[in-house]
Chain A
Amino acid sequence: MARGGGGLGGYALRRLALVLPVLLGVSILVFGVMQLAPGDPAAIMLGAQATAEDVTRLRRDLGLDQPVAWQYLRWLGRVIQGDLGRSIPLGREVLPEVLLRFKATLILTGGALLVAVVLGVAAGILSATRQYTWLDKISMAVAVTGVSLPVFWTGIMLIIVFALGLRWFPSAGMLSPYGGGGLGDLLWHLVLPAVTLGTASAAVLARMTRSSVLEIIRQDYVRAARAKGVSERGVILRHVLRNAINPIVTVLGIQVGTLLGGAILTETVFSWPGLGSMMVRAIQARDYPLVQGGVLLIATTFVLVNLLVDMLYAVFDPRIRYE
């Protein structure tokens, strides 16, 4: 650890330095959303009934009469200070609105990630340790199927069967409107959306886990561990999984992006009060500050998750720090 820039700390700093330009690029694209929009954003935001003076005033308030580069810098300066602007249709500040919604999105994405990891890694290990058996074939067939399922359809089908048919779970919302609100109530509402969103990622993870476990399982040191008399469970957990984990973590990082994106669809299907369903409505209402705030928050989260994944590599595999 104390080896100059080569330790985990130095590695972390170098990775962090690479993240900043990416975040800057992200901010330029997010800023561009309003710039690229056809027509005068001020006139669009105010709607058809606005007078010419109103439009001029909003243009001035938004700084739309200034050069683009200057507008960007001013916008970025405000964003860094936590000022994401005001939503005109809602008549409220964007930041608190977006943060509140983001909490719901994180709950949903977290639940889906749990479904994906538990189902995916278990199915992958099971498949790899019983390669070419019927169990392996079935679980890989299910995985190919799972990858091809459109989340918005899976969600509706689960609602038809488990909410409308069997009445086991609610069909919409995050909490019961009356009498609910506890953790149990939240989890009860979370089951169907999390399974919907997590299934495809579980399938991808299962395939990745299977192939990386298969690669490790044939190595000499695994044979040595077996010969030494380590139990099969111990071999898989301590020797195989430990070494197969990096590709799995990589895929997991990518899947967080899939989940955050897929949450937009899942939230719409289940009327989940998250950022995604809010952004869809904001796009239809041409509420640019709200859209920008939502996109910026989710993209930043994803960039940070990827940074975390890179850090995890270095923790699991110390060789990486010195590359």
Chain B
Amino acid sequence: MSERAGAGADRSARADVVRRFRRNRAAVVGLVLVAAVIVAGALAPVLAPHHPDHIDTARRLARPLTPGHPLGTDEFGRDLLSRLVHGARISLAVGVAATALAALVGSLCGLLAGFAGRAMDQIVMRSIDILMAFPYFLLAVAIIAALGPGLVNGMVAVAIVNVPFYGRIVRATVLSVKEREFVEAARALGVSELRLSLSHILRNCLAPIIVAITLNVGGMITALAGLSFLGLGVQPPTSDWGSMLASSRQYIGVAPHVAALPGLAIFVTVLGFNLLGDGLRDALDPRLR
């Protein structure tokens, strides 16, 4: 019976979260923006009027609303709308993958620091201090210098930079949860340390990690677009929003829309994730408001 009461409390807590989230207008706007970008990326082959790499030198730098090219064309006469929706796939996929990698590695580091004794805690936390001694974007650039430019290396670099972020959140949660009674009880019941960490602790870390991930994806997408903008991320012929922006720079005098649109796409996506993240944080933990 007490179990059923617990499940009921769980459900009403969840309903509270949903209600708080829906009442937050900015958060709903964020959700809509993110959903729109995901749908645009997913339906790219349907939405794109042309192949994104189809070159048409007769129609270079066409203005938006040109017949056949709703958003105009770039310096090679490639259709901008097609390139933007296909770029959404790369930017989103890479941003989400890098975030997942950082969250996974960071959480493992946090668990290790929180669980594997004082010595391991010191090693992990001091390593995190060293990573955090570098300015955020500089560290990514330095890692690229070592690994060489490229899409996968860019992802790895940006993920490494964000490992401390998750490591510290998870470690702090582990340390606070570890002292609580249910962990004590589980230990008394003979549940092994490993199972304990994976099931009980991770479940308690879940809310902060979800909020952290949502707030982090936007920054990841910006950082990866930034690397591509510098020529250190995605390499031609593949292109994401960052590299589209870089190649259009020379033409801003004659065709400003070619530079404006990919940046606007990054901005809208990042804004969506940030609003969503803020909203989730407020909904999951009203005290932080």
Contacts of B137 in A (CB 8 A): 258, 261-262, 264-265
Q: Report the Cα distance A280→B130, complex, angstroms.
A: 23
B77 in contact (CB, < 8 A) = no
In residues 226-285 of chain A, which contact B (Cβ within 8 Å)? 256-262, 264-265, 268-269, 279-280, 282-284
B95 in contact (CB, < 8 A) = no
Q: Across the interface, do B232 and A280 meet the contact criterion of CB distance under 8 Å?
A: yes
* Proximity string of chain A (273-313) to chain B, C-beta cutoff 8 Å, 1 when within and 0 when not: 00000011011100010010001001100110010000000
Q: Across the interface, do B26 and A32 meet the contact criterion of CB distance under 8 Å?
A: no
Closest to A28 in B: B130
Q: Across the interface, do A148 and B267 meet the contact criterion of CB distance under 8 Å?
A: yes
- Residue from A152, A262, A279, A306 having most chain B Cβ neighbours under 10 A: A152
The one of A29, A145, A268, A298 in contact with B230, judged by C-beta atoms closer than 8 angstroms, is A268
B159 in contact (CB, < 8 A) = no
Contacts of A26 in B (CB 8 A): 130, 133-134
Contacts of B231 in A (CB 8 A): 280, 284
Contacts of B141 in A (CB 8 A): 261, 264, 279-280, 283, 295
A320 in contact (CB, < 8 A) = no
In residues 213-232 of chain B, which contact A (Cβ within 8 Å)? 218, 222, 225-226, 229-232
> Chain B, interface size: which category?
35 or more
> Which of A6-14, A81-89, A157-165 sits within the interface?
A157-165
Q: Across the interface, do B148 and A144 meet the contact criterion of CB distance under 8 Å?
A: no
Q: Across the interface, do A295 and B142 meet the contact criterion of CB distance under 8 Å?
A: yes
Q: Across the interface, do A21 and B232 meet the contact criterion of CB distance under 8 Å?
A: no
The one of B136, B145, B218, B264 in contact with A257, judged by C-beta atoms closer than 8 angstroms, is B136
Per DSSP, chain B at the interface is helix
Closest to B30 in A: A144
Q: Report the Cα distance A164→B146, complex, angstroms.
A: 37
B126 in contact (CB, < 8 A) = yes
A156 in contact (CB, < 8 A) = yes
Closest to A282 in B: B145
Q: Across the interface, do B134 and A302 meet the contact criterion of CB distance under 8 Å?
A: yes
Closest to B221 in A: A150
Q: Across the interface, do A33 and B126 meet the contact criterion of CB distance under 8 Å?
A: no
Give the B-binding residues of A (Cβ under 8 A).
Answer: 21-23, 25-26, 28-30, 32-38, 141, 144-145, 147-153, 156-157, 159-160, 164, 256-262, 264-265, 268-269, 279-280, 282-284, 288, 291, 295, 298-299, 302-303, 306
Q: Report the Cα distance A238→B91, complex, angstroms.
A: 47
A sample of 18 inter-chain contacts (CB < 8 A) reads A22-B129, A26-B133, A33-B142, A34-B146, A37-B148, A148-B267, A149-B267, A150-B226, A150-B263, A152-B225, A152-B245, A153-B245, A156-B259, A164-B256, A264-B230, A280-B232, A284-B231, A299-B133
Q: Across the interface, do B129 and A258 meet the contact criterion of CB distance under 8 Å?
A: no
B15 in contact (CB, < 8 A) = no
In residues 116-169 of chain B, which contact A (Cβ within 8 Å)? 126-127, 129-130, 133-142, 144-149
B274 in contact (CB, < 8 A) = yes
Q: Report the Cα distance A65→B51, complex, angstroms.
A: 51
Contacts of A262 in B (CB 8 A): 137
Q: Across the interface, do A159 and B267 meet the contact criterion of CB distance under 8 Å?
A: no
Q: Ordered nearest first, which 5 A-B pairs have the shortest CB separation?
A: A153-B263, A261-B137, A25-B130, A257-B135, A261-B135
B275 in contact (CB, < 8 A) = yes
Q: Report the Cα distance A33→B138, complex, angstroms.
A: 13
Known contacts A156-B245, A261-B137, A280-B141; is-contact A144 B252 (Cβ 8 Å): no
Q: Report the Cα distance A160→B250, complex, angstroms.
A: 11
Q: Report the Cα distance A260→B134, complex, angstroms.
A: 9
Q: Report the Cα distance A30→B130, complex, angstroms.
A: 11
